[in-house]
Amino acid sequence: MSGEPIFQRVALIGLGLIAGSMSLAMREGGLAAHLVGYARSPETRQTAREIGLVDEVADTAAEAVTGADLVVLAVPVGAMGDVAVEIAPHLAPGAILTDVGSVKQSVIDVVAPHVPEGVHFVPGHPLAGTEHSGPRSGFATLFRNRWWLLTPLPDSDPAAVERLSALVRAMGANVDTMEAPHHDRVLAVTSHVPHLIAYTMVGVADHLSRVTESEVIRYSAAGFRDFTRIAASDPTMWRDVFLHNKEATLDILGRFAEELFVLQRAIRMGDGEHLHRYFTGTRAIRRGIIEAGQDTAAPDFGRAGVKDRA
């Protein structure tokens, strides 16, 4: 290990992309003295043991969290409440409990009531991921230069928030805090609705491919390929995201439908000036994302192979 660990025993409940990447990042940075993991699936637990994803794989969630000073809930949002009930009696006094769910208010509603007195609950959400899932999908640099949003409760211990923030920063991420309802609205715009649109577009293409001898698939341009990458994400996770961030998602979908109607009318009426003005404005958003360091301008349309994960 390189340096003094921030936590002595970290329990990862769920061993998919995010938890696996956390384990690898913490191990690389010497940020935890002992890493223990648990997954509901026996196959996942066995794979985690075979690849040495964590120092110890527990057979129950209760066993995993016993004695841990940091517990991370890395399960689908819809499973958070049941896991909280299971582990609550076994959480150590003074421990920090966090999660990595894409929806925050729903998680707070189902987890917070079960958190014992003396345990510090600090909800969180790393804005990082790929379309891959499972214990073999993680990599240590996943969080590098990405944002990790924390949504502390009004009574959250500031020292616990700072300690968790220090871990997040040590894994390479940028930290910000915000209220849970605001988080859910922001993510509806930046992540949830774009995923829903991608799923829809790929579904439409699937129907078309059945009547065009699969030409839609064979001749896919870069835009559609990007949609298919997004739409290949974990279906269980995204089902839960939409069911648990319903109000914000429906609001943004309504706004999207209004914008789409305006563009539809411009196309029908041959209003090239409106289309050009609209597309010019959206290009500025892309430039802003690149300037913020959240992507690069490197062209990769049609490039074979996998991008450098570092």
The more confident residue out of 99 and 305 is 99
Supply the CATH number for residue 26's domain. 3.40.50.720
Tens of pLDDT, residue by residue over 239-256, are 998 999 999 999 999 999
Q: Per-residue pLDDT for 303 more than 70?
A: no
Domain range enclosing 236:
182-291
Helix 180-187 with 246-269: angle, nearest 10 deg: 30
Residue 206 pLDDT exceeds 90: no
Closest to 132 (Cα-Cα) out of 20, 56, 225: 20
Cβ-based burial of 68 (10 A; exposed 0-12, middle 13-18, buried ≥19): buried
Residues 193 and 67 in one domain: no
Asked if residue 170 lies in contact with residue 6, where contact means CB atoms within 8 angstroms, the answer is yes
């300037």: which residue's tokens?
Answer: 291
DSSP state at residue 100: -
Out of 154-158, 197-201, 231-235, 295-299, the most confident range is: 154-158
Q: How far apart are the first and last CA of the chain?
A: 21
Looking at the structure, do residues 88 and 191 belong to the same domain, yes or no? no
Task: Say yes or no: 38 and 72 in one domain.
Answer: yes
**Gap between the Cα atoms of 287 and 282, Å rounded:** 9
CATH number at residue 269: 1.10.3660.10
Contact 310, 144 (CB under 8 A): yes
CA-based radius of gyration for the chain = 21
Asked if residue 190 and residue 58 are part of one domain, the reply reads no
What are the distances in angstroms from CA 57 to CA 42, 92, 171, 266, 294? 11, 19, 22, 58, 34
Nearest alpha-carbon partner for 38 in 18, 14, 4: 14
Closest CA to 192 of 256, 136, 118: 256
Task: Verify that 74 and 124 share a domain, yes or no.
Answer: yes
pLDDT score, position 212: 61
Q: What is the pLDDT of residues 131-151, one digit of tens each?
A: 788 999 999 999 999 999 999
State the Cα–Cα distance between residues 269 and 244, nearest whole angstrom: 39
Distance CA 93, CA 67 (A): 9
Decide if 180 contacts 104 (C-beta within 8 A): yes
**Taking all residues of the chain, what is their mean pLDDT, rounded to a whole number?**
89
Please check whether residues 113 and 199 belong to one and the same domain: no
Residue at token pair 């582990």: 87
160 with 225, same domain?
Answer: no
Check residue 214 and give its pLDDT: 64
Is residue 230 assigned to a domain?
yes
The answer to whether residues 27 and 108 belong to one domain is yes
Name residue 4's amino acid.
Answer: E
